[in-house]
Structure formats: structure tokens, C-alpha cells
Amino acid sequence: MECKNCSVEAIRFEIKLEGVKNLSASQIVIDHLERREIGVIQKKNKLQMDEKGAVLTLFWGTYLFPQSKIPAVISK
């Protein structure tokens, strides 16, 4: 997501899938996010998404599971 008011080109978010041991389990998460029009890329046990996707994921995660802690790593 490009910002017209600063020099930041993009922010990429990575969410680590804790406890996911196989591809089918992580694919369920990816399919769920894509049904909500959140594009994700899987790299090993992490999901990468753009700002919009990360915000929507954090919103839905905290709304549906308020006691959960969703770890997110912001990286270049």
C-alpha cells in the first residue's frame, strides 16, 4: 500500500503459524484469509501480507478471539 505523504514504499507483515505442523493445516488458514479477500504468501511457517491484509487479519483475530495473542513481525 503506497503512502503519498511519506517516503515509505511498503510495509510487509509476517505472521508466524504457531503449532502448524503440516501444509494442509496452514492451507486452511490461507484459504480462510483469501475468502475474505486478504492476499497472503506462504514462506515456510510464515504468512506474508500487505498492510490491508494485516490490519484485517488483526481486526478479525482480536474481534473473534479477544483473549488470543496474534504475533506479528514487521520487516522490510
Q: Where are the domains of the chain?
A: 12-75
pLDDT at position 34: 79
* Amino acid identity for residue 4 in this structure: K
The span from the CA of 58 to the CA of 76, in Å, is: 19
pLDDT of 23-76, one tens digit each?
Answer: 555 677 777 777 877 777 777 667 777 777 777 766 665 555 555 554 444 444
- Give the pLDDT band of residue 12 (cuts 50, 70, 90): low
pLDDT at position 73: 45
Q: Which three cell numbers stand for residue 11?
A: 510495509
Torsion angle defined by CA atoms of residues 48, 43, 75 and 33, in that order, rounded to the nearest 10 degrees: 10
